[in-house]
A and B are shown apart, each in its own frame.
Chain A
Amino acid sequence: MITAPFDYETPETLDEAVRMLHENGEDAKLLAGGHSLLPLMKLRLAAPTLLVDLRLVPGLHHIQRENGSWRIGALARHADLQDTPELGVASAAAKQIADQQVRNRGTIGGSLAHGDPASDLPAVLVALEGEVSAQGRNGLRTIPAGELFQDYLTTALAHDEVITEVRLPATDGWGYGYEKFTRRAEDWAMVGVCALVKKGADGSCEDVRVGLTNMGSTPLRATAAEQALRGGSLDGDSIASAAEHAAEGTDPPGDLNATPDYKRHLARVLTRRALVAAAQA
Chain B
Amino acid sequence: MGATVRICVTVNGERRESEVEARTLLVYWLREELGLTGTHVGCDTTNCGACTVHMNGESVKSCTVLAAQADGAEVTTIEGLAPEGGLHPLQDAFWEKHGLQCGFCTPGMIMAAADLLQRNPNPTDDEIRHGLEGNLCRCTGYHNIVKAVKAAAANEVPA
Contact = CB atoms under 8 A, between A and B. Distances in A.
A155 B119 CA distance: 35
A50 B5 CA distance: 13
Contacts of A68: none
Contact of A100 (B5, B25, B115): B115
The dominant DSSP class at the B interface is: mixed
Contacts of A269: none
Interface string B57-77: 011110011101101000000
B44 interface: yes
Nearest to B28: A2
B47 A186 contact: yes
A202 B109 CA distance: 50
Nearest to B129: A185
Interface residues of A, number: 29
A43 B22 CA distance: 17
A6 B64 CA distance: 16
Given A1-B45, A34-B64, A101-B60, A8 B134 contact: no
A57 to B, nearest CB: 14
A42 B134 contact: no
Looking at A2, A38, A39, the one whose CB has the most chain B CB atoms below 10 A away is A38
Contacts of B102: none
A185 B49 CA distance: 13
Contacts, number: 89
A8 B47 CA distance: 25
Interface in A50-79: 51, 53, 55, 79
B23 A5 contact: yes
Contact of A101 (B112, B119, B130): B112
Given A38-B64, A185-B133, A102 B2 contact: no
Contacts of B10: none
B64 A35 contact: yes
Contacts of B23: 2-6
10 contacts: A4-B2, A5-B1, A5-B2, A5-B23, A8-B2, A8-B66, A98-B134, A101-B134, A185-B133, A186-B47
Interface of B: 1-3, 5, 21-23, 25, 28, 44-47, 49, 52, 55, 58-61, 64-66, 68-69, 71, 112, 115-116, 119, 130-131, 133-135
Interface of A: 1-8, 10, 31, 34-35, 38-39, 42-43, 51, 53, 55, 79, 98-102, 104-105, 185-186
